[in-house]
A = this chain, B = another copy of it.
Amino acid sequence: MTLPGTLHYFPAPTTQAFCSQCGNPLSRLVPPEDNRERDVCNHCGAVHYRNPLIVVGTVPIWNDQVLLCRRAIEPRYGKWTLPAGFMELAETTAQGALRETDEEAGADVTLGSLFTVLDVPRVNQVHMYFLATVNSERLDPGPESLEARFFNLDEIPWEELSFRTVFHTLQAYLQSRASGQFATHYHSIE
């Protein structure tokens, strides 16, 4: 899609027609010593793999409240989410989770342990959420959030959450609070 006021569209293209190395058209074929079709350039020889992406975020807790952000971007404009986003190059998952928490909520948090690892094969993503303790009530939501606020744990807007990974992570958090066990959860969302 093209955003108003810009020539650039989002999200990133997921198919490719031309070689990023030499600009010639790509072919779809099984490269030598491979076992599945790839986008291959018969001009320069480049093989252009496509692989799943990692989304990193936090479960930011302030006393008995959880910090959620209301999305100012598609998909799920206006829905509530835990702060999260695509992991960038040259960072760790923990650093990415902290960065997204800062960018989306402007929250000062101390990172805890890795809490959920969630496969979402339908969209070729793996989501990873870390526990986090909020250090100050002050928030400063960025341009990707309409607002950011704390919710009591019995007032989480379950019907207005953005993604199943957010739903699953918040459910797991409540169960962990009840059991006192905060080990990493792994789950596939089919």
Q: A residues engaging B (CB < 8 A)?
A: 2-3, 5-10, 12-13, 16-26, 31-33, 35-36, 40, 42, 45-54, 86-95, 103, 113-114, 117, 119, 121, 124, 126, 128, 143, 183-184, 186, 188
Contacts and interface: CB of A to CB of B under 8 A. Distances in A.
Nearest to A53: B51
A121 B184 CA distance: 21
Contacts of A9: 45-47
A81 B147 CA distance: 47
A41 to B, nearest CB: 8
Contact of A20 (B17, B36, B126): B17
Contacts of A2: 45
Given A17-B23, A45-B7, A36 B143 contact: no
Contacts of A94: 119, 186, 188
Given A91-B121, A92-B119, A8 B186 contact: no
Given A3-B33, A51-B88, A52-B89, 18 more contacts: A7-B42, A8-B40, A9-B47, A12-B46, A13-B20, A16-B20, A20-B20, A20-B48, A23-B24, A35-B103, A36-B88, A54-B126, A92-B119, A94-B119, A114-B117, A117-B117, A117-B128, A184-B184
A52 B32 CA distance: 25
B3 A32 contact: yes
Report whether over half of chain A's contact residues are helix, strand or loop; otherwise say mixed.
Answer: loop
Contact of A86 (B6, B49, B184): B49
Contact of A114 (B5, B23, B36, B186): B186
A18 B16 contact: no
A7 B51 CA distance: 23
A91 B52 CA distance: 9
